[in-house]
Structure formats: C-alpha cells, structure tokens
Amino acid sequence: MCGIVGVLSNHEASPILVEALKRLEYRGYDSAGIATVNAGVLDRRRAVGKLVNLSDLLVHEPLPGKAGIGHTRWATHGAPSVTNAHPHQAGPVAVVHNGIIENFRELREELASHGIQFVTETDTETVALLAQHYMQNGTRPQEAAFKALDRLRGAFALAFLFSGHDDLIVAARRGSPLAIGHGDGEMYVGSDAIALAPLTNQISYLEEGDRAVVTRHSLEIWDADGTPVTRVKKTIEVDGARIDKAGHKHFMAKEIAEQPGVIARALGHYLSEDGQITLPGPGIDFTAVDRLTMVACGTAYYACLTAKYWFEQIARMPVEVDVASEFRYREPPVPTRTAALFVSQSGETADTLAALRYCTGKADQILSVINAPESSIARESDAVLPIHAGVEVGVASTKAFTCQLTVLFILALKAAQDRGEITTNRRADLVACLRGLPNIISTALGGNAEMQQTALRLSEARDVLFLGRGLMYPIALEGALKLKEISYIHAEAYAAGELKHGPIALIDKQVPVVVMAPRDALFEKTLSNMQEVMAREGRVILVSDAKGIREFGEGAYATLEMPQIDDLLTPILYAIPAQLLAYHTAVAKGTDVDQPRNLAKSVTVE
Ligand code: F6R
C-alpha cells in the first residue's frame, strides 16, 4: 500500500518530496524516507513512524539535491524500522517501492550466491541489489533497472534513482498504480495524481507492465512487450490546495460533518430537476442483464451488502455479493447476462481490482462505483459511477460509505424502473425522500452530544456487539468495523436472528449491545431479540426513531433517537450513529483516530 514519489526539479527536492508524501500518507505511516542526488552523490534520510518524524530529521540533517525519490510505508516484509524504511540503497542505486515482490526469496538466494549481503528484511532491497549487480558489469543505469525488472514477479510500482545521474528516474508499474506528472522543465512521479496536484495537473498514467525513463525534458515509455508507446497526457481536476481539518479536531469528524453536503452533491449529479435518474457516461441498461454480482472490500463491501437488499426488494433483481479477496480465487462462474459491479473509495484496492479483471470478458458489463475517477478500477470499467464524496483523508471511511449507498440506491431505483418493477408514484416518492436526505442527516448529526455521552460508556467495554435485521444488518456490521478499527475495542455484528445460534453465549452485563432498529416492518422481530439480550443482563443501546423508542426504550441502557425516514433509506441515516459512536469512543480512549494503528487508506497489496 505504500506511497511513492519522485521529482526531477529545478528547486530543492526535499521539501517537494515531503509535501507530496504528506498527500500520500493515507497509504501508510509506518516509516517515511527520501533520497536525493546532489553533485552526483546519492544520499538518503529515513525515519520510523509518521512523516512528521522525517520532517524533524530533515531540520537537523538536511538533504540537498534537486532530484529525488520518496516513500511512505505500510510494512509488509519486515517490521517498521529505519533499516527497513525506503528508499533502499545498494551502492549507486536507490529504490522506492509500492507492492510485493513475490519471488524475493529466490532472488535473495541467487544474489547471496554471488556473495552479496543483505541489510534489511524487505523484499524491496532485492530490487536495489539486483540493479546494482547488473550495473557492476558496466551496464548503464536504465538497462540495469530494466534487467532487474525482468526478474521480478509480483506487484509493484517502482522508482529508481542513481548516483551520478541527477536528471534520471526510471519508473515501472505492474499491479500498483503510477502516475507521471509533467511540469515546466520538471517531471514528477507519484502513486497518484493527488500527490502531484500542487506541482502539476498534467498527468500520464502508466499502464500495466509499462516502464518509463524520465528526465526533466523527456518521457520515454515502453509497454509490457517492450514496444515504445506514448500515454496520453490528461488534465486532471484534483485540488492542489492543502487538505485541512476545517476547524475539526480530526479529519474523520470533518468528513462525518460533511455528509449532508456531499450527499446533496451526489444527488445533484444523478437526479435531474424533474426527478429523472441521469447516469453518467454510457450508464447501464438493466433490461440487458438478469443479475448483478457486486464485489468489494471492508466498508465498501457493506455498502454492497446493503444494496443487495435494495436491488432485490425494489428491482426484484437477483444479486450476489462477495468480498473481493474470496471472489478472486474462487473462480466463480459468471453466467451470461450478468453485470459485475465493483465498489471502492480509492479505486485501487488490489483485491477488488483483481476481481474486476477476473470478470472482464466474462460479465456483460463491468461497472464501478468509485470516489477516485482516475483510479485503476475506474479506468478498467465499462461504466463509472462516481460518488462525488471529495477527498477522504480519515482512514476509517465515513462520507464515502454514505455516498456509495446514495449512488447504489439510485442505481437500484434505475434497475427497478428499467425492469418495470416500480410504479411511477412510488419512484417519485423515493426520489423526494432522497432529496430530503441531506436535511435529515443534518438533524441526525445534531444528536452528536448524546452520541458522545453513550460513547463514554462504550469506551469502558472490552467487547461490544451490534445487532441489526434486514437493511440494518449491514449497518450493524459497519458499526462494529468502525468501532474496532479506530477504538481497538473488540466488536462483532450479527444478524439479530442469528443471536440465539451462538453469540448469545457472550452476553453478560459487561457487554453493551448496540441494536440498530428503526420502527420498520421487522422491528417487532428485532424487539424479541433485544428482550433475549436484556433477559441475560445485556446492556442494550437502542438506536431507533421516536416511535421505536417510545414503544421499547424503557428497559434500555441507553437510547439514541433518529429522525423518521422511509424504511428503505434507513441504512444511509443509521450509518451516522454507527460512525459517531465509533468516533467518540475512539476520542474518549485517546487513540489515533485518523491514522489508526496497522491500517492504511488504500490497500494496494493483497
Ligand atoms: C474501513 C475502510 C476499509 C475500506 C476497504 C476498501 O473504514 O475504510 O474497510 O472500505 O479497505 O477500500 P476501498 O473502498 O478503497 O476499495
């Protein structure tokens, strides 16, 4: 998942590299490092932990030079340490890498047989050592790097820098994204266009298997077959301004608060003034397919799980949902007249991308619901449905989730309409409810203080259970995921009806049970499950609407009141308490809310 960057500048490279790495820190924060070439000399600085540690180091030990590469790490091979931090250097070669070199053991053995010593536990060091090994026979840097690349199996985005060459970066992409930025007499390399946004909006994306030789005034690219190619230079619309917290304590708080605005923006893109659904680009004709396969990871997977209920209930369309890491290796049959839909905030999740590639050529249509329109998943889809959530910095996904849900709901409505499964009046009612969603979410956000109080109780728990039935089941799963990832409290979610098939054994008075239960058609069923919990001294935190709380709130340990909304739209609304409970619990526990331990925002390794 790491982030990589490279610059061939006319100014000092260090501050540029650090600034770009700041914008890539969402990819990992186990360590950070940079290397530069100055007067022909290759040197580097590296620090464990967040980028700020590298910045501090650079104050005391500046690194001059106008050509450089940089890295922010999410550890795969080897613990987070200075030795294992990138850039890895072997004599005249320094390398930064995002991905995993799968055959590194075999390559290490081969290099060791030549008497070559290793100093790190990483797979990446092998790449630097291989290139150095090839350079020893007098091979030029570019050819040595290409020879090293020929030997690699696995996934990578790589950038090489060489001593004695302050106008050269060799870059390569296989499996992990890489963008080349064009400046005015300067060139840049980065894991994404966001990293390069303050420097340029002129971007060429490398394709799978591409290798590039970059100088300040030239860019040469060869494709996977070694044929020289050009890759179009696109003007990218990414805001280069520093992304700030806008007065909030955390990015996550800011992103939670932004939801009414970003959902309104998404609605504006998908609903015309007269309430018609307008899909971007080629869209999708749901009369041409009979079933939908939806694939994603983590929170995006829970968005798919929610959408399954919608597609089945509103459009009467069979839907399969799977986590990408399972789907990709199961080799499931993809029947004819199937549309495959991939949901991803980053658009770079390695497993989701691999699942998409598995379906390419098998499914009738490849659709994606993404937040990053220039991402690999977007670029490999037949039709792209952007969620318009804006940049999401907090590692725990919040506004992207509710925007994914909003777009998926509109897609389910479109399917219902195309398949003749919805009356005009019901469709108009639902569109009207959708339009009211931003206001209702604002009302729900107004309950922040109550959430904070309840979270204080959760913060003392060792385990927390979440229960939900029907459309609330995926939201219970999302609530549990949010809580565990940022507060480190063990949390599990169950379909309420499953409780008595095992998990009820966990209930005692130490275990808070968050029950997501709007007063809908399934409320009474869930109510019975709540009673089963309370009969065993479990502490129920009931999240419901006024009616639900009036009818059942009395015996609960705590109640959280949500505004009233059409039953079908409750998942989008009830995502708010799921997020706020997790957020305030994490704040009460004093954890690192925006960059929780062991996690990264963009999961580009499997
Ligand atoms: C949880 C979270 C992750 C992501 C997952 C998929 O808060 O953010 O579970 O949802 O890693 O990421 P994307 O959506 O980028 O494919």
Judge whether 558 and 377 are in contact, CB under 8 Å: no
**Interval between CA 299 and ligand 1 midpoint (Å):** 5
Catalytic residue selected from 2, 297, 304, 403: 2
- For residue 26, what pLDDT is reported? 80
**Interval between CA 239 and ligand 1 midpoint (Å):** 22
- DSSP string for residues in 79-108: -SSTTTSSSEEETTEEEEEEEEETTHHHHH
What are the mean pLDDT values of the chain's consecutive 10-residue runs (606 residues total)?
Answer: 93 97 86 97 96 96 98 88 95 95 93 91 94 92 97 94 98 93 97 91 94 98 97 83 82 96 97 92 89 98 98 97 95 96 95 96 97 90 96 93 98 97 96 97 93 94 96 98 97 94 90 95 88 90 95 86 97 98 97 88 74
- For residue 578, what pLDDT is reported? 98
Rounded-to-integer distance, Cα 419 and Cα 409, Å: 15
Catalytic status, residue 2? yes
Judge whether 348 and 375 are in contact, CB under 8 Å: yes
Instruction: For residue 4, give the nearest of 159, 200, 180 by alpha carbon.
Output: 159
- For residue 346, what is the DSSP state? S
Distances from the Cα of 452 to the Cαs of 481, 482, 595, in angstroms?
18, 15, 20
pTM of the entire structure? 0.88
Q: Which atom belonging to ligand 1 lies closest to the Cα atom of 296?
A: 16
> Which tokens sit at 299?
């929170």
**Interval between CA 97 and ligand 1 midpoint (Å):** 22
Rounded-to-integer distance, Cα 324 and Cα 322, Å: 6
Rounded-to-integer distance, Cα 279 and Cα 75, Å: 39
> Which tokens sit at 404?
């994914």
- For residue 301, what pLDDT is reported? 98
**Interval between CA 326 and ligand 1 midpoint (Å):** 16
**Interval between CA 4 and ligand 1 midpoint (Å):** 20
- For residue 144, what pLDDT is reported? 97
For the chain, helix (H) and strand (E) counts, in that order, are 19, 25
Rounded-to-integer distance, Cα 277 and Cα 311, Å: 16
**Interval between CA 345 and ligand 1 midpoint (Å):** 7
Judge whether 448 and 562 are in contact, CB under 8 Å: no
3-state per-residue secondary structure call for 524-561: HHHHHHHHHHHCCCCEEEEEEEHHHHHHHHHHCCEEEE
Which residue puts its alpha carbon closest to atom 8 of ligand 1?
397
Q: State pLDDT tens for residues 103-132.
A: 999 999 999 999 998 999 999 999 999 999
Q: HSE on the CB side for 567, CA within 13 Å?
A: 15
- If residue 440 lies in a helix (H) or strand (E), which one and from where to where? helix 424-445
Q: Which atom belonging to ligand 1 lies closest to the Cα atom of 352?
A: 16
**Residue 580 CB contacts under 8 Å (≥ 6 apart), including other chains:** 256, 445, 447, 448, 451, 452, 455
Q: Which atom belonging to ligand 1 lies closest to the Cα atom of 377?
A: 16
- Ligand 1 pocket mutation pick from 27, 349, 397 by most atoms within 8 angstroms of CB: 397
Q: State pLDDT tens for residues 313-324.
A: 999 999 999 999
Rounded-to-integer distance, Cα 280 and Cα 180, Å: 27
Q: Which atom belonging to ligand 1 lies closest to the Cα atom of 300?
A: 10
Q: Which atom belonging to ligand 1 lies closest to the Cα atom of 345?
A: 14
Catalytic status, residue 359? no
Q: Which atom belonging to ligand 1 lies closest to the Cα atom of 482?
A: 7
**Interval between CA 40 and ligand 1 midpoint (Å):** 42
Which residue puts its alpha carbon closest to atom 9 of ligand 1?
298
- For residue 239, what pLDDT is reported? 67
Which residue puts its alpha carbon closest to atom 3 of ligand 1?
298
Can you tell me whether residue 177 is helix, strand or coil?
coil
Judge whether 499 and 529 are in contact, CB under 8 Å: yes
Rounded-to-integer distance, Cα 460 and Cα 589, Å: 9
- For residue 606, what pLDDT is reported? 74
Strands (E), 106-256: 154-162, 165-174, 179-182, 187-190, 202-205, 211-215, 218-222, 228-229, 234-235
Which residue puts its alpha carbon closest to atom 7 of ligand 1?
396
- Ligand 1 pocket mutation pick from 297, 306, 369 by most atoms within 8 angstroms of CB: 297
- For residue 240, what pLDDT is reported? 62
Which residue puts its alpha carbon closest to atom 16 of ligand 1?
344
**Interval between CA 571 and ligand 1 midpoint (Å):** 18
Q: Which atom belonging to ligand 1 lies closest to the Cα atom of 398?
A: 7
Catalytic residue selected from 22, 399, 482, 601: 601
- Ligand 1 pocket mutation pick from 603, 605, 606 by most atoms within 8 angstroms of CB: 603
Q: Which atom belonging to ligand 1 lies closest to the Cα atom of 301?
A: 10
Provide the b/e sequence for 384-408 (b: ≥16 CB within 10 Å): bbbbbbbbbbbbbbbbbbbbbbbbb
**Interval between CA 164 and ligand 1 midpoint (Å):** 42
Which residue puts its alpha carbon closest to atom 11 of ligand 1?
298
Name the residue with tokens 């490849």.
Answer: 366
**Interval between CA 71 and ligand 1 midpoint (Å):** 22
What residues are in contact with ligand 1 under a 6 Å CB criterion? 297-300, 344-346, 349, 352, 396-397, 481, 485, 602-603
User: Pairing relation of β-strands 165-174 and 154-162?
Assistant: antiparallel
Rounded-to-integer distance, Cα 29 and Cα 317, Å: 42
Q: How many CB atoms lie within 10 A of CB 226?
A: 10
